[in-house]
């Protein structure tokens, strides 16, 4: 279940409380895809998640203004766990960070980073970088989607 958003001093909109919160794609849709524009962002997220799932990805973390109370988020930010991913099945777009990740933004309306990739500005892995509010510097939450069991993907754990 996705927890209620919380206010952080210095942050312009509400965010997820600190921690990693597991959610299904349907829950993400129900909570965050409330407008036509937000539904478009969500649909792009699903396209990317499905492609990652085909390559063997088991976990995707979702962040960005999409999972806040910002009325019109710029996009979503996500990072994917590379454990178990078969490189030969991974679409090269997931490793294309050129031109400000233009190809990813065009294909998905958001960005995907390997969760273990180090963010250049702070020296943290993206999965950790995503858990810090950029305005206040305080801890905030992210969503975890378990691709191995998500009903939207039509698979279940064995």
The Cα–Cα gap between 133 and 140 comes to 6
> What average pLDDT does the chain have?
93
Residue 21 has pLDDT above 50, yes or no: yes
Cα distances (Å, whole numbers) of residue 148 to 12, 21, 55, 69, 156:
35, 16, 12, 28, 6
User: Per residue in 38-85, pLDDT tens?
Assistant: 999 999 999 999 999 999 999 999 999 999 999 999 999 999 999 999
Question: What is residue 147's predicted lDDT score, i.e. its pLDDT?
Answer: 96
Among 14, 7, 19, which Cα is nearest to 144's?
19
Mean pLDDT value of segment 109-118: 94
- pLDDT for residue 157: 41
Given a cut of 60, is residue 156 above it in pLDDT? no
């Amino acid at each position: 279940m996705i927890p209620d958003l919380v206010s952080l001093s210095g942050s312009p909109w509400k965010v997820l409380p600190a921690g990693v919160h597991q959610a299904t794609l349907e829950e993400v849709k129900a909570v965050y895809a409330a407008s036509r524009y937000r539904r478009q962002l969500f649909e792009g997220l699903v396209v990317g998640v499905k492609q990652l799932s085909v390559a063997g990805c088991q976990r995707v973390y979702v962040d960005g203004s999409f999972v806040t109370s910002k009325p019109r988020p710029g996009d979503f930010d996500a990072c994917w766990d590379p454990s178990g991913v078969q490189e030969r099945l991974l679409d090269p777009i997931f490793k294309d960070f050129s031109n400000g990740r233009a190809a990813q933004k065009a294909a998905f309306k958001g960005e995907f980073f390997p969760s273990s990739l180090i963010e250049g500005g702070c020296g943290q892995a993206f999965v950790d970088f995503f858990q810090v509010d950029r305005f206040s510097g305080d801890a905030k939450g992210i969503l975890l989607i378990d691709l191995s069991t998500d009903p939207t993907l039509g698979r279940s754990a064995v």
